[in-house]
Amino acid sequence: NAPVADAMQEYYPQIETICRFTSQFNWLIDYNGKKFQEKNIVFADSTITQVFSWTWHEGNPQSALTRPETIILSKKLAEKYFGDESPIGKVLLMDDEERFEVTGVYEIPPNSHFAHDAYISMATFKGYRPQIFESWGYVDFYSYFVVNPQADIATMEADVPAFLEKHYTSDFTYSLRFEPLADAYLNSEANRQPG
C-alpha cells in the first residue's frame, strides 16, 4: 500500500532510501500524431532513481520525477516516439487529455526483476487520489528500499510487530515481510510481483 513506505522511512533509521511504484496502467500516448496504446507504465516516487542503479541517458535522475505531470521513458520507448531526437522537455498527450513533460530517459538491464516502459511522477497520482496515501487497505503499490551497511534485516524483521502496532490500526490482518532483491525473481514468497 502507499502509506507503508513513508511509515517505514520514519520508523526504521536503517533505511537510507525508499521508493514506491504502482501496478501497471494502460495509456493511449500521442506525440505529433504517432499514437500507440502502451500497457507497461506505472507511477513512481522520485527516489526510484536512487534505489535502482539504471543506466541514465538523458535528464537529471535526481529531479526527473519530483514534479506532477512528468514522465521518464525507457530508451526503447523514447526511440519509438522521438527517434534520434531528444525527448527532454517535449510533451506527450496521454489518453487524449493529459499532458506529461518528458524529463528523463533510462535503460533497465534485460535481466532485471522488472522493467517498465515509463514512470510517471507519484506526485501526479497523489493529485488524482490523495486519500489512497492514507489507506492501508488499498494494496496496489510496491515498495523497495536500501538500508545502510550496518543494518541487520533480522533485527528489522523482529521489530515488525511494534512497527505495525504503531502505524496500522485496522481490524483486518496485515503482515509485512522483507525480501532481498537478489531473491525476488526466482525465490519470492510474495503473492504479487511487479510486471
Residues 81-125 have pLDDT tens digits of: 999 999 999 999 999 999 999 999 999 988 787 889 999 999 999
Q: Is the pLDDT of residue 76 over 60?
A: yes
The answer to whether the beta carbons of residues 24 and 195 sit under 8 Å apart is: yes
Cα(99)–Cα(179) distance, integer angstroms: 36
For residue 21, give the C-alpha cell: 511504484
What is the pLDDT at residue 60?
A: 97
Beta strand 55-59 pairing with 118-121: unpaired
Measured CA to CA, the distance from residue 139 to residue 2 in angstroms comes to: 8
* Count of CA atoms in the C-beta half-sphere (13 A) of 113: 18
What average pLDDT score do residues 139-162 get? 94
Q: Residue 129 — left, alpha, or beta (φ > 0 → left; ψ -120 to 50 → alpha)?
A: beta
pLDDT at position 127? 95
At 12-56, the pLDDT tens digits run 999 999 999 999 999 999 999 999 999 999 999 999 999 998 999
Cβ proximity of 176 and 160 under 8 Å: yes
The grid cell for 132 is: 489512497
Say whether pLDDT at 155 is over 50: yes
pLDDT (0 to 100) of residue 168: 84
Q: How far apart are CA 186 and CA 108, in angstroms?
A: 18
> 166-187 pLDDT, tens per residue?
988 777 777 888 888 876 554 4
Tell me how far apart the alpha carbons of residues 185 and 195 are, in angstroms, rounded to a whole number: 11
Residue whose grid cell is 510496491: 142
| Residues 65-70, mean pLDDT to the nearest whole number | 98
- What pLDDT is attached to residue 186? 47
Instruction: Give the HSE-up count for residue 85: Cα atoms under 13 Å, Cβ half-sphere.
Output: 9
Write the CB contacts of 26 (distance below 8 Å, at least 6 apart in sequence). Answer: 37, 38, 39, 41
Please state, in angstroms and as integers, the Cα–Cα distance from residue 175 to each residue in 33, 96, 137, 161, 168, following that order. 47, 40, 12, 9, 10
